[in-house]
Amino acid sequence: MVFGGAKEKMMERTVANSDAMKAVSTIIAGLEVELLSEVKRLEDAAGVDHLDEVPTQEERQETLLGLVQAKIGGDGTDFYAEEVMSEHVENPEDAAAYLSLEPEEWEEQISNWAETYRAKGVSEDLADREIADQHVQRKFGVSLGEFETNVVEWDQRAMMEKVLAGNVSSAVEGVRLVRESLED
């Protein structure tokens, strides 16, 4: 089994670093960056504020290759924690423990946090979710609702779609907003 694991890791690196994969990711990243840059210029000309920052081609290519490598090596959880979740929460490594929890598991976690705080004599008069909200805000820098949306309710397929098509979707949204501003 030891060699099997090493063989799989070698395959992951080989596919993600292959000339074909690099060529494909270079083309896709280049087109996306060009599209986003043009949409950003269009938004600026129309006085629409939608796109914040356009990634460099190298950044986008690195993201695409990272996703491919993560998917070949597993379910993409590590990629999500490192690349995506870090944009939404503080301490993404710790938050990764709560990815895709079943509803029952999540409710149990909320109850455990509440019990821990109450045992320390803190927040005795608050509901479990209120205590969990305070805990999550302190530890992860977001509200309980945001944490649930971006971590607990994580959907691998939705994450892949966002990473793969997010830039194109943002460009389409930018064009739509410019069109709406011109129609008004």
pLDDT in tens, 139-179: 999 999 999 998 999 888 888 888 899 999 999 999 999 99
Q: Are residues 78 and 164 in the same domain?
A: yes
Q: Both 176 and 112 in a single domain? A: no
Q: What are the tens digits of pLDDT across the range 27-39?
A: 999 999 999 999 9
Same domain, 80 and 160: yes
The torsion angles phi and psi of 93, rounded to 5 degrees, stand at -65, -40
Residues 69 and 140 in one domain: no
Task: Report yes or no on 95 lying in a domain.
Answer: no
- Is residue 96 a part of any domain in this protein? no
Domain membership flag for residue 162: yes
Could you tell me which residues come within 8 angstroms of residue 15 by beta carbon, excluding any fewer than 6 positions away? 21, 68, 69, 72
Do 137 and 178 belong together in one domain? no
Q: Which domain holds residue 110?
A: 101-153
* Cβ density class 14-29: b for 16+ within 10 Å, e for less: ebbeeeebeeebbebb
Q: What is the pTM of this model?
A: 0.67
Domain identity same for 168 and 149: no
Q: Are residues 85 and 170 in the same domain?
A: yes
Residue 133 forms part of a structural domain: yes
Domain count, the chain: 2
Distance of CA 29 to the CA centre of its chain: 18
